[in-house]
Structure 1
Amino acid sequence: MSSLPYPAAIEFVEVGPRDGLQNEKTLIATADKLALIGHAIAAGARRIEVTSFVNPKKVPQMADAEEVCAGLPQRDDVTYIGLVMNLRGAERALATGRIDQLGAVCVATDRFAMANQGQTSDESVEAAKAIVALAKEHGRTAQVTIGASFGCPFEGEVSEDRVVAMAARLAEAGPVEVAIADTIGVGNPAHVTRLVERVRQAINPLPVRVHFHNTRNTGLANVWAAVAAGAAVVDGALGGLGGCPFAPGAAGNVPSEDVVYMLERGGIATGMDLARMVEASHWLAGVMERKLPGMVAQAPVFPKVAD
């Protein structure tokens, strides 16, 4: 174990079935989405973002949200997360009876919030708080993500003070955590360190979750910086798939298997089985009919297992 001041473990959230697939132009069969969720569970994932309850005309890939939920394995040890943008989506998610946790989203800038949700940034915060309250009324939990925390595709730089203030307001609603998301992959480790530390102080004792995209090849460095700064929960998408339909230029999430390799090799437990993740990444590449961005699944096994 490293003697450096890093945590002994983090919690890993697999977001591939939702964020990994949502921007894909070719519709993925419901059966393949359920198989992906099954692979994630087999590899150790115990929190999985399984789908989103959004307008199917705007995000056609998620049009089968109810069908995915109907096919989810019955597992008491797995938390199934459904992303929702508004109360209508939250009600749809709750009506399935299979979503354990609502994933609410607000956005740090007005222009992106309008593109993403048809509301201002402040309105998106209030909407997220209302979703948290609704989840509690129905005996469920909720998480909240602040999109475009590190930069906006429309407005450019985003004030750290703005993100911290939003996190503090969201914490008042009592989500299980507050996530800061680098939706378009413009973050760098120095920025990540500052913002994670500030948000952690603002929402303590709630955990900070982080969600990074690898658009400019800084995703893994940002994960490491975030964990070192106190982030307790890390998102990843198997194979490094992903993107946002409403954020021009947003590319893939940090690959789950690459994140797990880096953290485990650094002495930080994730609860994930890397060998099974690599197998799942190879399977997913076959489903997508192309090579995926994740690097660990393309590299030789290390350390090599003795014959």
Structure 2
Amino acid sequence: MDEMKKIVLPEKVTVCEVAPRDGLQTIPEWIETKDKIKMVKNLVATGIPSLEITSFVHPKAIPQLKDAEEVVTAVIDELEDVDVRALVPNLRGAQRAADAGVRKLKTMLSATDSHSLSNANDTVVNAQEKLMPIFEYADERNIKVMGSISVAFGCPFEGIVPVENLIEIIERYVKVGVREISLADSTGMAQPIQVYETLGVLKEAFPDVAYSMHFHNTRGAALANTFAALQQGVTLYDSSIGGLGGCPYLPNATGNVATEDLVHMFEEMGIDTGINLEKVIDVANDTLDLLHAQGDSYMLMAGPSSKLHDKPSGQTKLND
């Protein structure tokens, strides 16, 4: 038998926890600020290296995040060793985030006009142009900005997104100095071959850009899509404890890939995350209880593969 060909994958990845933002934005019942602060601190205690802490959107758009300033200012001084970022829709949001102490921003943009009109009330080109003051503001204050592209692989109104759409958007991002792009499978429409081939095209077109993958598990393909991205050398991944999350403006939207599931898969593959899996599972359970939410997590149902059961004491015989 021929020797099996070894798959070359990254030895280490960075997982960004997005539950304090993406995970909370669809929870209808108000979560007290003190509980959000506790949630952030518990997450950081698991060893997560990166955190999307909140979104500085207008309170009427996402009422659950209207206390963004209070949450950030309460914990930001304790997060020196964590790559903290916040989602901002416009210049005002960027200013609020910076005033609260956030030193890394993430923009909001759609890959298709249909979704952009639904989400931002404008076409993609016009919506991206409106983001330009954010980059100018951040550059003057030495604040990092990463660009995001929602529905990057599939749009609920237009279907599969052509890679040309992404190239045009990234070109405009790169012109203003962006070197980290979040590709969000907001609808969970992506499949592994599409992810692999799309990343291959984008890496060749923009070799100096780092891609951050934001997979939702709407159709159960998030972990498979992660493996496809790993084979393209991608090392940045978003996830949410318990599989919480989902865009409130997308039909049938569901949560992100669960952090505990993602970390478990990486660990089983020998890929270092620096995250304590047992602590993540505990925090996920506690958070779902706090939010009275139903999670979507294999770890919370079955537990890690390394957790073995006692061997049977004897052989069970079946009746004829």
Q: Please give the residue correspondences for 1:57-76 in structure 2 after superposition, counting only pairs within 5 Å.
A: 57-74=60-77, 75-76=79-80
Residue 107 of structure 1 aligns to which amino acid in structure 2? S
* In structure 2, distance between residues paired with 1:137 and 1:306: 57
Q: Please give the residue correspondences for 1:191-270 in structure 2 after superposition, counting only pairs within 5 Å.
A: 191-270=194-273
1:300 to 2:307 alignment: no
Counterpart in the other structure of 1:46: 49
User: What is the number of residues matched between the two proteins?
Assistant: 305
Aligned pair partner of 1:123 in 113, 123, 126: 126
SS at match of 1:144: strand
* In structure 2, distance between residues paired with 1:130 and 1:212: 28
CA RMSD of aligned residues (A): 1.9
- 1:234 CA displacement: 0.4
- 1:158 CA displacement: 1.5
1:79 to 2:83 alignment: yes
1:279 to 2:282 alignment: yes
* In structure 1, distance between residues paired with 2:125 and 2:40: 34
SS at match of 2:108: strand
Unaligned runs of 5+ in 2: 311-320
SS at match of 1:136: helix
Q: Please give the residue correspondences for 1:73-222 in structure 2 after superposition, counting only pairs within 5 Å.
A: 73-74=76-77, 75-96=79-100, 98-222=101-225
- 1:202 CA displacement: 2.3
Contact in 2 for aligned 1:52/1:84 (Cα 8 Å): yes
Contact in 2 for aligned 1:260/1:274 (Cα 8 Å): yes
Contact in 2 for aligned 1:102/1:132 (Cα 8 Å): no
- 1:238 CA displacement: 0.8
- CA 1:28–1:281 in 2, change beyond 3 Å: closer, same or farther? same
Contact in 1 for aligned 2:76/2:102 (Cα 8 Å): no
Question: TM-score of the superposition, structure 2-length normalised?
Answer: 0.90
Unaligned runs of 5+ in 1: none
SS at match of 2:190: coil
Greater shift after overlay, 219-228 or 293-302? 293-302
Larger radius of gyration: 2
* In structure 2, distance between residues paired with 1:299 and 1:207: 34
* In structure 2, distance between residues paired with 1:153 and 1:306: 43
Question: TM-score of the superposition, structure 1-length normalised?
Answer: 0.94
- 1:143 CA displacement: 0.9
- 1:52 CA displacement: 0.5
SS at match of 1:107: coil
Counterpart in the other structure of 2:316: none
Q: C-alpha deviations, 1:197-232, integer Å up to 9, x for none?
A: 222222222211110111111111111111212222
Contact in 2 for aligned 1:149/1:158 (Cα 8 Å): yes
Contact in 1 for aligned 2:27/2:291 (Cα 8 Å): no
- 1:141 CA displacement: 0.6
SS at match of 1:72: helix
* In structure 2, distance between residues paired with 1:291 and 1:73: 29
- 1:129 CA displacement: 4.2
Q: C-alpha deviations, 1:125-174, integer Å up to 9, x for none?
A: 22344423322211211111111111112222321111122123212222
- 1:111 CA displacement: 1.8
Q: C-alpha deviations, 1:248-285, integer Å up to 9, x for none?
A: 22110010110111112112111211111011011112
* In structure 2, distance between residues paired with 1:175 and 1:138: 15
Counterpart in the other structure of 2:12: 9
Contact in 2 for aligned 1:129/1:170 (Cα 8 Å): no
Q: Please give the residue correspondences for 1:21-32 in structure 2 after superposition, counting only pairs within 5 Å.
A: 21-32=24-35
SS at match of 1:143: strand
- 1:175 CA displacement: 2.5
- 1:297 CA displacement: 2.4
Residue 164 of structure 1 aligns to which amino acid in structure 2? I
* In structure 1, distance between residues paired with 2:33 and 2:52: 15
